[in-house]
Amino acid sequence: MSVEVGEKLVGKVTGVKPFGAFVELPNGKSGLVHISEVANKFVEDINDHLKVNDEVEVKVLSVGDDGKISLSIKQAEKPKKQRRAQSPEDFEKKLSNFLKDSEERMSSIKRQADARRGGR
């Protein structure tokens, strides 16, 4: 069984180094997850994220001519659900409510200021 670029697989971490982690794939081959491909945030110490024998889902980024397999954990993660787009009517309603509240607050502040000045 060959490994295809873009394929998602579940593998087992066999080694952790400061620069990345080695992952054994189901076909017996192994690849490297570079430290920059471990998480969507900055990873200072890979040991905070991965341990030997952890099962991880990886995405195959590349397979070199020399057989080296580059993997990514962060790209294998399912995309987060995107926020629902706001309709123009919803926006107009929110803007109208904001302006109404703002005008009420400004008139209240003005009345308080006038009262302090002696009601000019």
CB 62, CB 71: distance < 8 Å: no
41, exposed or middle or buried, with CB in 10 Å at 0-12, 13-18, 19+? exposed
Tens-digit pLDDT string for the chain (120 aa): 678 899 999 999 999 999 999 999 998 899 999 999 999 999 999 999 999 999 999 999 999 989 899 999 999 987 665 556 667 788 888 889 999 999 999 999 998 888 888 765
User: Which residues have CB under 8 Å from 97's CB, separation 6+?
Assistant: none
**Per CATH, domain 8-72 is 1.20.1070.10:** no
**Model pLDDT, residue 117:** 83
**Model pLDDT, residue 8:** 93
Query: Which pTM was predicted?
Result: 0.63
